[in-house]
Amino acid sequence: MSNQPHSIHHVNFPTTDVERTKEWYARVFGMKHVNVSDLTNTKVLLMTHGNFELHFTPIQEMRKMAPFHYAVEVEDWDGFLEHLKAIGVRNTKPIERPQNQSKFCYITDPDGTMIELVFHANRDLMSAADRRPVQKSV
Neighbouring C-alpha atoms within 13 Å toward the C-beta of 57: 8
> Do 64-138 and 7-61 have the same topology in CATH?
yes
Show me where the domains of the chain are located: 7-61, 64-138
- Using CA atoms, how far apart are residues 105 and 78, in angstroms rounded to an integer? 12
Strand ranges inside 18-92, DSSP E:
32-34, 45-48, 53-58, 69-73
Q: How much is the pLDDT for 132?
A: 47
pLDDT in tens, 18-77: 999 999 999 999 999 999 888 877 789 999 998 889 999 999 988 876 678 899 999 999
Name the CATH code of domain 7-61 (choices 3.30.300.30, 3.80.30.20, 3.10.180.10, 3.55.40.20).
3.10.180.10
Domain 64-138, second-level architecture: Roll (3.10)
Q: How much is the pLDDT for 136?
A: 47
Average pLDDT over residues 97-120: 92
